[in-house]
């Protein structure tokens, strides 16, 4: 059997796309194909001799090709199957399915060069990218000679002029994210350390988490401190297209999110995907603020499978925007849609953080 697939024949982790001719295709799960192999029927009665429960959970093709109007597959369990294309056409359960892509990772899509743009133009360009992709990174205008910390208030004013309002939190109005912080309250949390922080959304324990966060580069670390961003809405749409049961669990099963600090405590019970609409999406994902799950015994493993499937999509580095903010650079992301993280670092790294909501949401 040839190693090179037929044009249009595409192997995926759990399914196979098969060209059917006349510009059509169909998608078949590996397990479905392996279960329906006609070479495992009784030679006299024609009845099936193999139950799907006997198949390995990780069954997958080693090789697949179209040969003489049939799909031929060599399987990971050393079995060989042959499926006439006419039979596949007759039994296609996902004919001409449109694949929903996982999150994108091209930093150029969300980047804005500030050179030659007014601050107002920078903000509007960033907001346009956030609406489309969930995040934006703005690189400092090299002609701007101000100290980065002197640009914070003008930047806030430009966002307010664009229709946003600052949302103060239990940290204060502006966060100085640095290990030697002396300006904020409630600094007993990971953002004020040099530790790596995994992907999460901010303030998920609030009934109304802030919609946007601005992160402004003031001083770089000696090493590390790279910001990571992942589009959770795109990941959820992809999950819906391949595992609707998992998506429904995330959108319906409530869990407790709890923030306990020395001088602050808040809890909220909610599904992790609180709103599913394209224009009204809200995910709450923060591995360090989950309280112990207290789900019915019969639903606990289902929840973990759904949660872990979703988060593994997001944690895959091929789905990350990666941005190292130089002094004066800034990024804006949709905290209802986009998860963010950072790598660990050494040295005196300093970012400023400000939360915003649309002014009409007041």
N- to C-terminal Cα distance for the chain?
65
Q: Which of 253, 346, 241 is nearest to 305 (CA)?
A: 253
The pair of three-digit structure tokens given for residue 228, joined into one six-digit string: 């990571």
For every residue of 3-36, which 3-state class applies, written as one string? CCCCCCCEECCCEEEEEEECCEEEEEEHHHHHHC
Average pLDDT over every residue of 315-326:
97
pLDDT of amino acid 44: 95
Give the three-class secondary structure for 44.
coil
81-130 per-position pLDDT tens digit: 999 999 999 999 999 999 999 999 999 999 999 999 999 999 999 999 99
**Number of neighbouring beta carbons within 10 Å of residue 314:** 26
Say which CATH topology domain 107-361 has.
Double-stranded beta-helix (3.60.130)
- What CATH number does the domain located at 10-91 have? 3.30.2020.30
pTM beyond 0.85: the answer is yes
Give the three-class secondary structure for 299.
helix
**Matching residue, tokens 């743009």:** 117
- DSSP classification of residue 189: S
CB 347 within 8 A of CB 223: yes
CA distance to 87, 187, 193, 217, per residue, from 261 (Å)? 62, 9, 15, 26
Q: Which residues pair with 264 in a beta bridge?
A: 261
**Number of neighbouring beta carbons within 10 Å of residue 327:** 15
Domain definitions of the chain by residue range: 10-91, 107-361
3-47 per-position pLDDT tens digit: 445 568 999 999 999 999 999 999 999 999 999 999 999 999 999
Query: Does 107-361 match 10-91 at the fold level?
Result: no
CA distance 14 to 219: 45
């Amino acid at each position: 059997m040839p190693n090179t697939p037929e044009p249009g024949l595409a192997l995926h982790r759990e399914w196979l796309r098969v060209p059917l001719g006349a510009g059509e295709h169909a998608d078949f799960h590996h397990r479905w194909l392996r279960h329906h192999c006609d070479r495992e029927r009784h030679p006299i009665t024609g009845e099936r001799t193999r139950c799907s429960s006997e198949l390995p959970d990780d069954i997958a093709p080693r090789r697949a090709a179209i040969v003489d109007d049939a799909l031929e597959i060599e399987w990971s369990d050393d079995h060989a199957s042959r499926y006439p294309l006419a039979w596949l056409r007759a039994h296609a359960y996902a004919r001409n399915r449109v694949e929903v892509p996982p999150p994108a990772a091209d930093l150029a899509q969300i980047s804005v060069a500030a050179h030659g743009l007014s601050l107002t133009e920078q903000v509007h360009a960033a907001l346009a990218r956030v609406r489309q992709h969930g995040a934006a990174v703005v690189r400092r205008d090299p002609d701007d000679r101000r100290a980065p910390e002197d640009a914070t208030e003008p930047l806030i004013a430009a966002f307010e002029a664009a229709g946003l309002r600052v949302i103060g939190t239990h940290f204060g109005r502006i966060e100085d994210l640095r290990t030697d912080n002396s300006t904020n309250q409630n600094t007993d949390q990971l953002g004020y350390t040099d530790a790596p922080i995994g992907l999460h959304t901010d303030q998920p324990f609030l009934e109304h988490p802030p919609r946007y966060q601005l992160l402004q580069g003031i001083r770089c670390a000696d090493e590390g401190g790279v910001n990571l961003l992942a589009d959770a809405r795109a990941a959820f749409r992809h999950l819906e297209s391949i595992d609707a049961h998992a998506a429904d669990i995330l959108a319906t099963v409530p869990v407790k999110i709890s923030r306990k600090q020395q001088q602050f405590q808040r809890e909220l019970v909610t599904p992790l995907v609180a709103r599913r609409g394209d224009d009204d999406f809200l995910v709450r994902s923060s591995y360090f603020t989950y309280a112990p799950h207290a789900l019915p015994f019969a639903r606990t493993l289902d929840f973990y499978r759904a949660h872990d499937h979703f988060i593994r999509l997001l944690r895959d580095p091929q789905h990350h925007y990666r941005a190292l903010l130089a002094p004066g650079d800034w990024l804006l992301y949709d905290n209802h849609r986009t998860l963010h993280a950072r790598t660990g670092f050494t040295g005196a790294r300093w970012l400023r953080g400000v939360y915003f909501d649309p002014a009409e949401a007041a």
